[in-house]
Amino acid sequence: MRIQDLPYPDPGVPDARSGPHLLWWLWRNQLGGQLKALAWGLLHFVAVSALPFCVGLAVQAVVDRSGGRLALTGGLMALCGTAIAVGDTFLHRSAVTNWITAAARVQQLLARRAARLGSALTRRVAAGEVVAVSTGDVEKIGWFVEAVSRFTAAALTVVVVCVGLVVYQPALGVVVAVGLPVVGLAVLPLLPRATRRADVQREKAGRATELAADTVAGLRVLRGIGGEELFLDRYRRASQEVRHAAVHSARMWSVISAIQVLLPGLLLIAVVWHGTHLARQGRITVGELVTVYSAVMVLNYPLRHFEEIAMAYSFSRPSARRAARVLSLRRSTDAGGARGAQVPCGDLYDPATGLLAPAGLLTAVVCGDPDAAGRLAERLGGHPAEAGPSVLLGGVPLDELPIDSARAAVLVQDKDPVLLSGTLRELLDVPASGAVRAEDALAAARCEDVLDALVQGSLGAADPLDSRVTERGRSLSGGQRQRLALARSLIADPEVLVLDEPTSAVDSHTEAWIARGLRRLRAQRSTVVFTSSPLLLDHADRVVLVHGGEVVAVGVHRELVDTEPRYRAVVTRETGDERTAAGAEQELPGQGALLGASGTLDDIEESA
C-alpha cells in the first residue's frame, strides 16, 4: 500500500482482543511494507557497519606501504558510502509509509466502528476519548509498527557484525560478542517501570483531553451560568497533572538513555585496553585494532534502535489498548446483515414497547420521560441502548439488514442535531431519493430567517445556499439549528423518518407552520414524531402514549385529551392539584380542556 493509494478499499477485520493483538494484526497486514523496510534497513546498517573494516584495511595498507590495497580500500569505502545513502533514503521512505498507512488503517477502522455504532458509541465511550484515540493514539500505534522493521534490521546487523568480528579477530571479537548482548539487554529490568509511568501519563492526558472537549462543547452554557472559570481551573489542574506525569516518565527514559551511552562506552574502553595489550604482544596488527575499535563505535548507532523500540512499544501499548476497546464495541443487537440489501417497506413495529407506526401515516409519540423518549427514538432507528428484540420494518428485523440498508430505511434526528461546517449547499448535500427539493424542505422547516442570518454572516454570498455554516452551527440559535437539521432530514426523504422533539426550540407560530409543512412533504411516507406539543399532536394521524416503557393508549389528540388523564397530564402540563380539582368538577369529562385546546390550536394556526 502506497500513501497515494489511501484510503484502503477494505481495512479488514481487526483483532481487537487486546492492544498487543491489535499491534500484531497491523504488522501482519503490512508484511510487504515491513519486508521492504527490513531489506533497505539491512543495506543501510550493514553498509554503516562495514566502514570500520574498510578503515582498518586502509590503516593497515598505509602501515604496509601498499598503494594498491589503499586504492582498493578507497573504492570499497565509496561503495559503502553509496549504499549508506541509498539505504537510508529508501529506509526512511518505507518506514514513513508504514507509519502513515498503519495510522490511516486504524483511523478508517475507528470511523467505520463509529458509523456502525452511531449514537451508542458516546454512551459507552467518552467523546474526548474517541478524539484522543483517533488523533494522538493512532500516531503512536503507527510509530511502533514502522519501528519494528528498523529494529529488526538493527538487531540482525549487530548479530552479523559480532559474528564477523569473531571470525576476523577472535581475541577481540569474543569480547565484543559477549559485551554487546549485555549492553542491549541491560535496560530490560527498567522497562516495566518506564511502561507503567508512560501508561499513567497517557491516562492523565486522555482525561485532560476529555475535559477540554467537554468544556468546549458546553462553553455557551458555562458562560451563561458563569462557570467558565471553574472549568478553566479544573483543566489547569488536569494539565499540571499531565505535566508532572510526563516529567516523571521522562526521568526514567533519561536513565535508560544514560545507560545506553554508559555501557557502550565501558565496552569500548574494555576493547581498547584489551586490544592495546594484544597489539603490544604482537598478537594483532594495528589495522585489526582500529577495525574492532571502529566497529564498536559504529555499533552504537544500531544499538540506539533497541531503546527506540522499547519506547515505541511502551507508548503505543496503552494507545493500542484504547483503540482495541473502541474497535471491540458491537451493537447490542447485530445479526451481521443476514438478509439482503433491499430496503423493506411497511409498518414500523417495536416488540419491546408495542409501538406501531403504520406505513404512510404521521404517528406522534407522547412520553412523559424525555430521556426514555430519546432511547426509544434511537431504538426505532436500530440503535438500541441494550439487548432486546429488534425493531421490525415490514416484518423484517432491522438488525438483520446490512447497516447501510438499515440506515437508508430509517433516519433518526435526535433532539440536539449536529451541523457540520461548510456551505449550506454542502450541509444539505445528503444521500436522498431526489423527490424533495432543497427549496421545498427549507420552506417546510420555516428557514427563511435562517437563510437571511447566514447570508448576512457570509459577505459576498449571492445565493443563500453558498453561505457558510460555522462549526456545529454555533453562530445560529438553537431553533435555527433545529430547523436546518429538519430540512436536511426532509431532503433525505427516508422510508421512515423519526424525529425527537423537532420543534422544542421554536415559537408556537413557527411550530404551527412546521407541522403543516411536515405533513405536506411527508404525505404517503411513514413519520414518527416524539413530542408533547399540541400543535404537532393535532396534525398527527395517530397518537401513541408510552408510559412505563409500554404503549398504554392509542388514538388522536383531541380524543386522548378528553379520555386519558395520563396523556392530558403530559400534554397540558397539569399538576397533581389541578388534576384533583378537575376531577371534582361535575362537567363532561375533558370537555373544557378539549374546547380550550382546539381553540388555541385554531387561533395559533390562523395567526401563523
Q: Is the pLDDT of residue 598 over 50?
A: no
Residue recorded with cell 484510503: 7
Q: How confident is the model at residue 592 (pLDDT cuts 50, 70, 90)?
A: very low
CA 604 to chain centre: 46
7: preceding bond cis by omega (within 30 degrees):
yes
pLDDT band at 223 (very low <50, low <70, confident <90, very high): low
Report the alpha-carbon distance of residue 320 to residue 317 in Å, rounded.
5
Q: Which residues contact 261 (CB under 8 A, 6 or more apart)?
A: none
Determine if the pTM surpasses 0.85: no
The yes-or-no verdict on residue 319 having pLDDT over 60 is yes
Mean pLDDT of the chain: 82
CB 456 within 8 A of CB 520: no
pLDDT classification of 25: cutoffs 50, 70, 90? very high
Q: Read off the pLDDT of each residue in 299-312 and give the average, rounded to a whole number.
A: 82
Lowest mean pLDDT segment, chosen from 51-65, 125-139, 162-176, 270-284: 125-139
Output the pLDDT for position 461: 64
Q: What pLDDT score was predicted for residue 585?
A: 46
Is residue 378 very low, low, confident or very high in pLDDT (cuts 50, 70, 90)? confident
Look at the block and give the residue holding cell 397540558.
572
Determine whether domain 348-607 maps to CATH 3.40.50.300: yes
Question: Given pLDDT bands bounded at 50, 70 and 90, which one contains residue 127?
Answer: low
The predicted model gives 320-341 an average pLDDT of: 70
Query: Tens of pLDDT along 450-489?
Result: 888 887 776 656 778 888 888 777 778 888 899 999 999 9
pLDDT, greater one: 27 or 222: 27
Does residue 170 surpass a pLDDT of 80? yes
The pLDDT of residue 226: 63
Whether 333 shows a pLDDT value over 70: the answer reads: no
Residue 586 clears pLDDT 50, i.e. is over it: no
Q: Please state the φ and ψ torsions of residue 350, each to the nearest 5 degrees.
A: -110, 105
Domain boundaries, the chain: 9-327, 348-607
CA dihedral 418, 422, 424, 428 (to 10 degrees): -60
| Minimum mean pLDDT range among 354-368, 388-402, 552-566 | 388-402
- Topology (CATH) of 9-327: ABC transporter transmembrane region fold (1.20.1560)
pLDDT of residue 460: 57
Contact 502, 486 (CB under 8 A): yes
Give the model confidence (pLDDT) of 515-524 as tens digits.
Answer: 999 999 998 8
Is 583 or 213 the better-scoring residue by pLDDT?
A: 213
Residue 485 to residues 57, 388, 521, Cα–Cα distance (Å): 77, 30, 15
Distance CA 471, CA 456 (A): 17
Q: Which residue has the higher pLDDT, 314 or 152?
A: 152
> E strand or H helix at 47, and its extent?
helix 31-63
pLDDT at 1 over 90: no
pLDDT at 12 over 70: yes
Q: In the chain, pLDDT over 70 holds for what percent of residues?
A: 86
pLDDT > 70? residue 605: no
Res 584 pLDDT > 80: no
Q: How far apart are the first and last CA of the chain?
A: 60
Q: What is the dihedral of CA 37, 43, 44, 50, to 10 degrees?
A: 160
Whose cell is 460555522? That residue is 470
* Cell numbers at 173, concatenated: 571479537
State the Cα–Cα distance between residues 194 and 295, nearest whole angstrom: 30
Fold match, 9-327 / 348-607: no
Distance CA 276, CA 282 (A): 10
pLDDT at 370 over 80: yes
Average pLDDT over residues 105-128: 78
Sign of CA dihedral 118, 121, 123, 127: negative
